[in-house]
Amino acid sequence: MIPTPFYLIDEARILTNMRKIEALRAASGAKALLALKCFATWSAFDIMRPYMDGTTSSSLYELRLGHEKFGKETHAYSVAWSDSEIDEACGYADKIIFNTVGQLTRFEAQSAHIQRGLRLNPRFSTSGFDLADPARPFSRLGEWDVNKLLGVADRITGVMIHYNCENADFALFDEQLGRIERDFAPLLEKLEWVSLGGGIHFTGEGYPLEALAARLKTFSERFGVQVYLEPGEASITQSTSLEVSVLDLLDNGKNLAIVDSSIEAHMLDLLIYRESAKLPQTGDHAYQICGKSCLAGDIFGEARFEKPLKVGDRISVADAAGYTMVKKNWFNGVNMPSIAIKRETGEIELIRQFGYEDYLTSLS
């Protein structure tokens, strides 16, 4: 039995998502790139590679990881490339996407041998969090002036538009894509490819995949462009759990269970957005599940169980892949969860364990 804590990736559940991505690609003609900012656990890439067209990145290191570990097509985006990065980035990338016209101009010579794109900001999004809203006031993420973009249209072959966030509403997607078509048609007509980014929750239960495929195909044919999607969360949703064990129990006005993990260190995105972890909710025995770091608010959330908990019991925290494994850290020196994959056969394969030397070398 693998000691806790560890992330458990379920191969069968990833494949469920991959088959939906494959069906969407076939029906729409769109290509799908794994968004490494959401999920970059490369031991799972062999599962995903047959169903996706490549990767998209947000930094030099993500770009290199995608190039070396996933292969296939590689898109390189950064909010700002530096002089020390640009040559290496252009060496790994099939397409490099600049955030501004200023960056495109600055690195025009270095990027001349590969396809170039710009980030287009439509000035609206589906994000409910100001922290994550790319269309927030004074956003630094992309250009929106059509005339400015048309002025450099001869230097780019495409644009990336990232404006969806956990958007499970096809009607809203359809409406907003229509706004993009109306507002940016003169530019879109000059391009070879358009990436519509990630955040479309099309692998979720009940999502109208056929309608999405038809809409993407219509967009592609209208403007004569290759459409790209950048599924991150959609690629790995519901595929991974964080397995933890109870270390201590106490009652300070409610039943508390302290586990051998930390939301601050191992599920940071939930803490940032003040969301609760997805915990068991069956039974009459209620507990608040707490992390072991010294942060007072290191709390996973409220859970319910069929039986009273005891020290040593294991708990599965669901949906622990997207924007989770990429943000794990060494806060308090709490040991990093191992990584394991549950194969389709049911066998659980331990991929990686971490120890003191990893903590030591992360510092200096």
pLDDT in tens, 4-24: 999 999 999 999 999 999 999
CA distance 327 to 196: 24
Q: Give the model's confidence band at 255: pLDDT under 50 very low, under 70 low, under 90 confident, else very high.
A: very high
Average pLDDT over residues 12-41: 98
Distance of alpha carbon 162 from alpha carbon 337, whole angstroms? 31
Q: What are the two backbone dihedrals, phi and then psi, of residue 269, each rounded to the nearest 5 degrees?
A: -60, -35
pTM to 2 decimal places: 0.96
How far is it, in rounded angstroms, from Cα 76 to Cα 96?
5
**pLDDT over threshold 90, residue 129:** no
Which whole number is the average pLDDT over 148-164? 97
> Per-residue pLDDT averaged across 224-231, rounded?
98
Mean pLDDT of the chain: 97
State the pLDDT confidence band at 128, using cuts at 50, 70 and 90.
confident
Query: pLDDT per residue over 167-220, tens digit each?
Result: 999 999 999 999 999 999 999 999 999 999 999 999 999 999 999 999 999 999
Name the pLDDT band for 73 (thresholds 50, 70, 90).
very high
Tell me, what's the pLDDT at 352? 97
Task: Give the whole-number percent of the chain exceeding pLDDT 90.
Answer: 98
What are the residues whose beta carbons fall under 8 Å from the beta carbon of 340, sequence distance 6 or more? 2, 6, 7, 8, 9, 348, 349, 350, 351
Please tell me the distance from the alpha carbon of residue 146 to that of residue 150, in angstroms, as a whole number: 6
